[in-house]
Amino acid sequence: MRFVTAGYTISGSLIQRLRTAKRVVVLTGAGVSAESGVPTFRDALTGLWATFDPLELATPSAFARNPKLVWDWYAERRAQLLQVAPNAGHLALAQLEARVPAFLLATQNVDGLHARAGSREIVELHGNIARVRCSREDRVVKRWDEPLDAMPPRCPACQAYLRPDVVWFEEMLPSGALERAEAAARDCDLLIVAGTSGEVYPAAAIPQYAKSAGARVVEVNPNPTPLSALADDTLRGPSAVVLPALVDAAWPARKD
């Protein structure tokens, strides 16, 4: 049997697996927030890394060379995020979590939109742009004085520069985050990977752990990625359409 929903054909066996899955893991990337108006990184024309050089903005050495440039770039993105809202894809993942016995959402996104949509079990693999931390002691800082000079604000405790609490290239992921996501992937029945190019490791390895452990892997992405080859199902469309279609097909809304 196949279900045609929102213009997508979803196999009956996938719907059945979704309904009966005991443990579901979802790995998301920037594409999931695209329909909220948050730019991705690697899409050819609209991705951030098409316009900006990640080596000048998203590495520890870039921050050491030009802390003000890096601070301002993230501050601008933080301000832009105040203007956006979760989309139907984020909301569908929160609904999915409410319907399955065990669930983990591992996201590479730093925008906080999954939490705002109501997801609860979230691992933020790359941090959260809304948080700021001390660049020396890693302590999260909630209040600081705006500097009078053209430099980033400083830690009230040690005077080191403050920085966004996100993971930059060449940096480790937050302690325990990757371990939690990997353990859940190795122990799940179904893994959905949505809106990621699958180019950034170690996050991109997570679907392989699930696959090796016998889970069904579903990719949601309008475009093929290096992860497509290991997916059992590839749903080629925007996540704000495909994810609600999946949840609706598995748990049809009562019309009465």
* Residue for token pair 């921050």: 63
The β-bridge relationship of strands 23-28 and 233-235 is unpaired
By CB under 6 A, tell whether 31 contacts ligand OAD.
yes
By CB under 6 A, tell whether 225 contacts ligand OAD.
yes
Helix orientation angle between 12-20 and 239-250, rounded to the nearest 10 degrees? 70
The residue within the footprint of ligand OAD, chosen from 3, 6, 8, 43 (CB under 6 A), is 43
By CB under 6 A, tell whether 87 contacts ligand OAD.
no
- Catalytic one among 126, 178, 194, 216? 126
By CB under 6 A, tell whether 244 contacts ligand OAD.
no
Least distance in angstroms from the C-beta of 85 to ligand OAD: 15
Is 90 a catalytic site residue? no
| Total of chain residues touching ligand OAD, rule CB under 6 A | 27
By CB under 6 A, tell whether 111 contacts ligand OAD.
no
Strand partners, 132: 164
Q: Are 162 and 155 in contact (CB under 8 A)?
A: yes
Say how many C-beta atoms besides its own lie within 10 A of residue 164's C-beta.
25
Say how many C-beta atoms besides its own lie within 10 A of residue 200's C-beta.
16
Alpha-carbon span 50 to 43, nearest angstrom: 7
Least distance in angstroms from the C-beta of 66 to ligand OAD: 17
By CB under 6 A, tell whether 122 contacts ligand OAD.
no
Which CB, 23 or 242, lies closer to ligand OAD? 242
Question: What does the binding site for ligand OAD look like in residue numbers (CB under 6 A)?
Answer: 29-31, 34-35, 40-43, 47, 54, 58, 108, 126, 167, 194-197, 199-200, 221-223, 225, 238-239
The residues carrying an active-site annotation are 126
